[in-house]
Amino acid sequence: WTLIQVFPWILSTWLLDVGALCVAVMLGLIVVPSALGISLGISEAYMWVLVKTLEWATTRLQKELFSHVVTLFSQGIIERDETPMEVEIARLHRADFEFSHIFYFCRKGFEAIVEDEVTQRFSSEELLSWNLLTRTNVNFHYISLRLTIVWVIGVIVRYCFLLPLRITLATIGITSMIVGTTMVGQLPNGSVKNYLSEVVHLTCSRILVRALSGTIRYHNKENRPQKGGICVANHTSPIDAIILTNDGCYAMVGQVHGGLMGVIQRATVKACPHVWFERSEIKDRHLVTKRLREHVADKTKLPILIFPEGTCINNTSVMMFKKGSFEIGGTIYPVAIKYDPQFGDAFWNSSKYNIVSYLLRIMTSWAIVCNVWYLPPMVRQENEDAVQFANRVRSAIARQGGLTELPWDGGLKRAKVKDTFKEEQQKNYSKMLVRNGSTESTCTGAESD
C-alpha cells in the first residue's frame, strides 16, 4: 500500500526531471546558439538526411511509375499555344472570312477560363516529385509499401517530434520579443536604446527561424539595405519579414492588427521606429506618404521594409508593385526571395487558410529553405515616373529570383476585375484587328453583300 502511494510521486518527479533535462538540452543546443547566430551542425545534419531521403523517395517513385507521370506536374492543366495573339490574327485571311476563324478565339477563351495566368498564382505551386508531405494531387504514399512506411515515419517525426519542438521555440521567440522590446522601450532615446533594440530583434528572429527549421542563404551581402533607405521585396509569406530580419534589422510598415499580432506590434514599436497604420489612415495616401518621408529623411533610422505587391503570391511570380512606395524618394534596395518548395510550401493562401492553420502547415513541413538576393541599390531617374520606377525594380527582382513577371494587380486575389482593365483589353484587341485590316475587310464585305 505504501508503494502504491509513493509510486505516483516517484513517477511525477521522474517526469519533471526528464522534462527539465529536455528543456536544458534544448536551451543549450538550440536556443542559445540561435541567439548568438552560431550553428552546432545539427541543422546541417538534419538537412543532409532529409535531402538523401527525398532523393531516395524520388528514385523509388520513378521506378514504380512511368517516368512521364512524374514530370506531369511541371506542366499546367492544359497545353497552351504560346504564339502571341497578334501573330495568330495576322494569319487570318484578310478578305475571306471563314467560320473556322472563330475557333481560335473560342480556344483562347476556354484556356483563360480553365487556367488563367492570374488566379493560378494564388494557389500552391505543384512539385516535380513528391516530397513525402500530404500536399499533393496524387496519393503517392499508397503506390509502394516502402514509400508508405517512410511516409508514416515522416508523419510521426513531423507531428510528434518536430511540431512540439517548433511550437516551444516559437513560444520562446515570441515571448522574448515582447518582453525584450517592452523593456528596451522604457529606455530614453539614444544610441544605447537603438543598439539593444537591434540585438533583441536579431536574437528573437534567429530563434523564430530555428522554430521553422529555416535554412537561408544570403547572397551579395554588400548590397544590404542601409539606414535611411527603403527595402522592397517580393511577397510570398508573412515569414518573409522574419527571414530578412534574421540578417539585419528593419522598420516594418503595415496595418495595425488585433490579438497576438497586435500585442507584438505595440511592444516592438516602443523599441523600434516601426510604422503601423490604422485602417482609416491607410485610405489617406497623403498621410501615409508623409509619415514614410519623415522616416526616410532621418538617416539614423533603420531602413523601411515594404512589400509593394500588397498580398502573398505563390513563389512563382512577381505581380504589380503599388507605386506609393516609389513616390517617397530616397534609395530603393531591392531584395529577391525564392523558397525551395521541395522541403515545404511557404506560400500563404489567406483566402483559404487562416493564420493559425497556415502556421500549423508550416511547422509540420520538413523545413523552410530559401535564397535571398540583395540587389544593387536603385534610384529614380529624372525622366521616370513612379510607375515606371516600380516596374524597373520589379523586373530586377523577377530576373534575379527566376520569377515570372506579371503586370496584374495582386488585389485580384479578392476583388473582381475592374471595368477599366476589361476596356483596356478590348481596346488592345480592336487595335490588333485594325492593324491587320480585318475590320476594314469585314466592313467592305458587309457593304458588298
For 205-264, how does the pLDDT look when each residue is reduced to its tens digit (9 = 90+)?
A: 888 888 888 889 999 999 999 888 899 999 998 899 999 998 888 988 877 777 777 788
Mean pLDDT of the chain: 77
Q: What is the average per-residue pLDDT within 130-153?
A: 70
Question: Closest Cα to residue 271, out of 359, 373, 347, 180?
Answer: 180
Count how many Cα atoms sit within 13 Å of the Cα of residue 332 in the half-sphere of its side chain. Answer: 28
Query: What would the pLDDT profile of 258-297 be if each residue is shown by its tens digit?
Result: 777 778 888 888 888 888 877 665 566 677 778 788 888 8
Distances (CA, A) of 380 to 153, 324, 345, 417: 54, 13, 35, 30
CB contact at 8 A, 270 and 181: yes
Q: For the chain, what is the domain count?
A: 1
With b for 16 or more beta-carbon neighbours within 10 A and e for fewer, the 121-132 pattern comes to bbebebbebbbb
Residue 26 lies in a domain: no
Q: How far apart are CA 6 and CA 145, in angstroms?
A: 47
Residue 442 lies in a domain: no
Question: Closest Cα to residue 367, out of 212, 233, 164, 187?
Answer: 212
Question: Closest Cα to residue 322, out of 304, 338, 307?
Answer: 307
Query: What would the pLDDT profile of 293-311 be if each residue is shown by its tens digit?
Result: 888 888 888 899 999 888 8
Q: What is the pLDDT of residue 325?
A: 81
CB contact at 8 A, 321 and 396: no
Give the structural domain span for 148: 140-413
Residue 414 has pLDDT above 90, yes or no: no
**Coil vs helix vs strand at 319:** coil
Q: How far apart are CA 400 and CA 90, in angstroms?
A: 35
**Coil vs helix vs strand at 232:** strand
Residue 73 has pLDDT above 50, yes or no: no
Model confidence at 116, pLDDT cuts 50, 70, 90, reads: low
Q: What is the pLDDT of residue 70?
A: 42
Q: What is the pLDDT of residue 65?
A: 60
Residue 277 lies in a domain: yes
Which range has the worst mean pLDDT, 22-36, 177-191, 247-261, 390-404? 22-36
Residue 314 lies in a domain: yes
**DSSP secondary structure of 242-284:** HHHHTTS--EEEEE---HHHHHHHHHHHHHS--EEE-HHHHT-
Residue 35 has pLDDT above 90, yes or no: no
pTM of the model: 0.77
Q: What is the pLDDT of residue 370?
A: 92
**Coil vs helix vs strand at 409:** coil
Q: For residue 405, what is the DSSP state?
A: E
Q: How far apart are CA 321 and CA 324, in angstroms?
A: 9
Q: What is the pLDDT of residue 336?
A: 95
One-letter amino acid identity for 311? T
Q: What is the average per-residue pLDDT within 382-396?
A: 90
Residue 112 lies in a domain: no
Residue 384 has pLDDT above 80, yes or no: yes
Residue 13 lies in a domain: no
In terms of average pLDDT, the best of 96-100, 321-325, 390-394, 441-445 is 390-394
Q: What is the pLDDT of residue 47?
A: 86
Model confidence at 29, pLDDT cuts 50, 70, 90, reads: low
CB contact at 8 A, 173 and 211: yes
Residue 15 has pLDDT above 70, yes or no: no
Output phi, psi for 296, to 5 deg.
-65, -30
Q: What is the pLDDT of residue 21?
A: 57
More confident residue, 88 or 298: 298
Residue 31 lies in a domain: no
Q: Which strands, in side-by-side order, build the sheet including 214-219?
A: 214-219, 368-374, 332-339, 230-233, 304-306, 251-255, 275-277
Residue 333 lies in a domain: yes
Residue 363 has pLDDT above 80, yes or no: yes
In the chain, % of residues over pLDDT 90? 12
